[in-house]
Amino acid sequence: MTTIEQAKAFATRAHAGQTRKGAGAEPYVIHLEEVADLVARHGGSEAAIIAAWLHDTVEDCDTTAADIETHFGPKIAAIVAQLTDDKSLEKAERKRMQIVNAAGKLPEAALVKICDKLSNIRAVGETPPLHWPQARQLAYLDWAETVVAALPAGADPARAAFARQLAASRAQARARA
């Protein structure tokens, strides 16, 4: 089994039973698979693809940064750490800190972050959370754009894909008025 396959298996176990917020309540692992695929399609290294699979495990599961380091090494742990929100903070502060911390991301973390936001804005456009009114959908899209804009330069193909999806998701959200 490759390290990427190990990361996929680890993330699948960690996120077992979790679902997305959209109407379809699809298994959360679908999001991870999409992010990993986007990272690969946009030229991500093996480390970036592994981190894409693992990017939400510390934040959303019963997994620690030490678990990631033990199973995948310090480089992957460092990338995942840069993708993990501090859940001890209020939600608004976590969102603000994503913008504040964006400029200091490692290139692999920046690519995963762009692809994560790309997946999230696609979901907001196509299958938004049922309890999110149009204003909240549009506010999320604006915030995601701010986070991506604050990331260090690079990953231009992923940024272009993000911009295209952002326009499409805004149009979809506005059409639901």
Sorting pLDDT into bands at 50, 70 and 90, what band is 176? confident
Output the pLDDT for position 47.
Answer: 98
What is the pLDDT at residue 21?
A: 84
Residue 177 has pLDDT above 90, yes or no: no
Q: Where are the domains of the chain?
A: 3-175
pLDDT at 25: 84
Rounded-to-integer distance, Cα 66 and Cα 64, Å: 5
CATH superfamily of 3-175: Hypothetical protein af1432 (1.10.3210.10)
Digit-coded pLDDT (tens) for 121-167:
999 999 999 899 999 999 999 999 999 999 999 999 999 999 999 99
Tokens found for residue 142: 């604006």
User: What's the whole-number average pLDDT of the chain?
Assistant: 96
Residue 90 burial by Cβ neighbours in a 10 Å radius (0-12, 13-18, 19+): exposed
pLDDT value, residue 163:
98
| Active-site amino acid positions | 59-60
Q: How confident is the model at residue 81 (pLDDT cuts 50, 70, 90)?
A: very high
Q: How far is CA 67 from the centre of its chain?
A: 20
Evaluate if residue 53 carries a pLDDT over 90: yes
Estimate to the nearest angstrom the gap between the alpha carbon of 157 and the chain centroid.
17
